[in-house]
């Protein structure tokens, strides 16, 4: 007997880390992802709206301050304006900025004609020979304001950004209304708003990052009991524990209690099935044994028929009871049988049995690989196959096993014997079929294997071995490690 270490499987390239996939993957059906994405989306939306509102309010506050300055300037210009026989005249107000060319602060007085045109009557020295910027829709804006001062943005004579205030008044002796303008450079307000926006968005970005990190932490800590419950259920499935033992928060504890009740009920059902199967076995085997004993002591055609039919009935009972027991055991949770231990025991025993033939059994299996089922069933499955291989081999028998993923494993039993024609592969799996009618045995070995494997949801496949003999491939449920 030889054993060899099994190389660890390489992780498939492109496989996403489960940890990052859990936190950063698409929400899908994951509660963790859903909570993180929803909270993160809400944080982003809330902070974006907050940043926009704060920046807008800061700008509006600055413009209101400019509006106060412009309103005072409009009042000063109005007080400096006279209506007389020579028309409307306005003296320069006492503001040093309006007396300096292109200083950034301007005023003007214009007459609003019936056809909607503005005729400039006077202007500040700071405007020099430029016109006060006015939008085309200004007359309509003044009409809609109802005598109140309106404000708008425009570009100044030096292409600077301006905040302009306009107010329409009707002077004594004048038929047409007079519009009073005041404008001031708003570059300082724009610069202050941009600086405030930069600081605000940086602060909100840092706050958002902190809040998202807090959400990660909150979800990880808040859902930790669920992760622990999942791990405990996995431990029960692997056979490491029989029930959920930990105490959980009041929101999750009822779930843990229900799982424990389900486990207990499942075990009770399995035990009840085993009891029924055992009772049925005893109830049927005793009368059959009596019939065989009575028929064996008599001679004649009738005793021969009774004896032959009783043997058939006994074989059928054994067959169906074996499948029923295996099916009942396959329903149980937590069953785990180390594959290597069973292979080693069978190899040692069979090498001694076939010592005169000099049979060598070479088996290879990962140490952590296990069969999700009872030890007795695995011993019966592998024992039949390995004994059959030893019986028909020249000297060498090879057994190899490994996981295939999705909770399954494959066990391959091969020998260097004469093998079997491909057209007989299906036949030898039937009850009573024999590889060689002259060889000793009942012909039930492969049938028993097929029954037990199918009871566990597996499959038996026969093929030609590269050693020259028969190769039997078993697909069985693997225990999670």
188-231 per-position pLDDT tens digit: 999 999 999 999 999 999 999 999 999 999 888 888 888 888 88
DSSP H helical ranges for 185-330: 187-222, 224-238, 253-296, 301-330
* pLDDT tens profile 278-288: 677 667 777 77
Q: Tell me what the mean pLDDT of segment 111-115 comes to.
A: 88
| Predicted pLDDT of residue 330 | 53
CA separation, residue 8 to residues 2, 11, 367 (Å): 19, 9, 11
β-bridge partners, 401: 411
Mean pLDDT, the chain, integer = 82
Q: Which residues pair with 478 in a beta bridge?
A: 371
Q: Residue 420 in 3-state DSSP?
A: coil
Pairwise pLDDT comparison (136 vs 283), residue with the higher score: 136
The mean pLDDT of 178-192, rounded to a whole number, is 93
CB 74 within 8 A of CB 165: yes
What average pLDDT does the segment 42-65 reach?
94
pLDDT, one tens digit per residue, over 326-343 is: 655 555 555 678 999 999
**What is the sign of the dihedral through the CA atoms of 100, 102, 104 and 105?**
positive
Average pLDDT over residues 157-162: 92
Report the pLDDT value the prediction gives residue 160, as an integer from 0 to 100.
92
Q: Got the DSSP string for 323-340?
A: HHHHHHHHT-SS--EEHH
pLDDT at 10 over 50: no
Mean pLDDT across 122-137: 90
210 is written with which tokens? 């902190």
Query: If you average pLDDT over residues 65-69, what whole number do you get?
Result: 92
Whether residue 216 contacts residue 32, with contact meaning beta carbons closer than 8 Å, is answered with no
pLDDT at 17 over 60: no
Q: What is the mean pLDDT of residues 21-43?
A: 74
CB proximity list for 134: less than 8 A, separation 6 or greater: 118, 154, 164, 166, 181
Least confident range from 8-12, 96-100, 190-194, 371-375: namely: 8-12
Residue 206 phi, psi (nearest 5):
-65, -40
Query: Taking a C-beta distance cutoff of 8 angstroms, is the pair 149, 74 a contact?
Result: yes
pLDDT band at residue 272 under the 50/70/90 scheme: confident
Between residues 116 and 383, the one the model is more confident about: 383
Instruction: Determine the Cα angle at 114 with ends 110 and 115, to 5°.
Output: 95
Match 């301050």 to its residue by tokens.
65
pLDDT at 437 over 50: no
- Greater confidence (444 vs 174) lies with 174
Q: What is the mean pLDDT of residues 6-23?
A: 42
Confidence of residue 26 (pLDDT cuts 50, 70, 90): low
What distance in Å separates the CA atoms of residue 219 and residue 23, rounded to the nearest whole number? Answer: 10
Whether residue 271 has pLDDT greater than 80: no
What local confidence, expressed as pLDDT, does residue 431 receive? 53
Torsions phi, psi for 474 (to 5 deg): -110, 130
Tokens of 428: 């030898």
pLDDT at 132 over 80: yes
How is residue 267 written in tokens? 């075990």
Residue 7 has pLDDT above 70, yes or no: no
Q: Which residue has the tokens 């019986």?
A: 391
Q: What pLDDT score was predicted for residue 441?
A: 42
If you average pLDDT over residues 378-406, what whole number do you get? 91
pLDDT over 70 for what percent of the chain?
84
* Average pLDDT of span 126-136: 90
C-alpha 175, offset from chain centre? 77
pLDDT above 50: residue 5? no
From residue 177, alpha-carbon distances to 109, 329, 364 in Å are 11, 103, 106
| pLDDT score of 366 | 92
pTM of the model: 0.53
The DSSP secondary structure of 165-211, one letter per residue, reads: EEEEE--TT-SS-EEEEEEEE-HHHHHHHHHHHHHHHHHHHHHHHHH
Beta-carbon count within 10 A of 428 CB: 18
Q: How many CB atoms lie within 10 A of CB 15?
A: 8
């Amino acid at each position: 007997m030889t054993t060899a270490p099994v190389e660890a499987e390489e992780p498939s390239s492109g496989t996403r880390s489960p940890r990052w996939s859990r936190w950063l993957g698409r929400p899908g059906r994951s509660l963790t992802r859903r909570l993180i994405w929803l909270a993160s989306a809400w944080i982003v939306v809330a902070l974006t709206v907050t940043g926009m509102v704060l920046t807008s309010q800061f700008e509006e506050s600055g413009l209101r301050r400019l509006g106060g300055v412009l309103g005072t300037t409009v009042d000063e210009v109005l007080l400096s304006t006279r209506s007389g026989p020579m028309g409307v005249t306005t003296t320069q107000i006492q503001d040093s900025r309006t007396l300096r060319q292109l200083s950034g602060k301007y005023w003007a007085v214009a007459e609003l004609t019936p056809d909607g045109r503005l005729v400039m009557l006077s202007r500040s020295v700071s405007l020099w020979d430029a016109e006060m910027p006015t939008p085309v829709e200004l007359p309509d804006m003044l009409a809609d304001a109802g005598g109140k001062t309106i404000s708008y943005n425009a570009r100044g004579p030096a292409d600077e950004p301006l905040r302009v205030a306009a107010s329409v008044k009707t002077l004594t002796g004048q038929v047409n209304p007079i519009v009073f303008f005041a404008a001031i450079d708003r570059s300082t307000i724009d610069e202050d708003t941009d600086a405030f926006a930069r600081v605000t968005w940086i602060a909100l970005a840092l706050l958002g990052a902190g809040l998202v990190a807090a959400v990660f932490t909150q979800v990880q800590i808040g859902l930790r009991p669920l992760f622990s419950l999942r791990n405990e259920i996995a431990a029960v499935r692997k056979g490491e524990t029989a029930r959920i033992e930990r105490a959980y928060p009041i929101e999750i504890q009822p779930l843990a209690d229900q799982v424990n009740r389900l486990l207990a009920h499942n075990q009770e059902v399995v035990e009840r099935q085993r009891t029924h199967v055992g009772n049925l076995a005893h109830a049927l085997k005793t009368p059959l044994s009596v019939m065989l004993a009575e028929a064996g002591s008599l001679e004649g055609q009738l005793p021969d028929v009774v004896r032959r039919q009783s043997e058939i009935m006994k074989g059928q009972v054994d067959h169906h009871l074996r499948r029923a027991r295996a099916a009942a055991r396959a329903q149980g949770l937590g069953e785990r049988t180390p594959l290597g231990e069973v292979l080693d025991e069978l190899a040692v025993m069979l090498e001694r049995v076939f010592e005169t033939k000099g049979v060598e059994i070479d088996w290879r299996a990962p140490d952590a690989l296990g069969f999700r089922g009872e030890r007795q069933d695995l011993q019966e499955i592998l024992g039949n196959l390995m004994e059959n291989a030893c019986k028909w081999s020249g000297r060498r028998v090879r057994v190899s096993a490994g996981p295939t993923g999705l909770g399954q494993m494959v066990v391959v039993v091969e020998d260097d014997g004469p093998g079997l024609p491909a057209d007989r592969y299906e036949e030898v799996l039937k009850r009573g079929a024999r590889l060689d009618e002259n060889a000793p045995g009942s012909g039930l070995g492969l049938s028993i294997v097929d029954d037990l494997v199918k009871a566990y949801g597996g499959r038996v496949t026969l093929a030609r071995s590269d050693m020259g003999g028969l190769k039997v491939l078993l697909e069985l449920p693997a225990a999670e490690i």
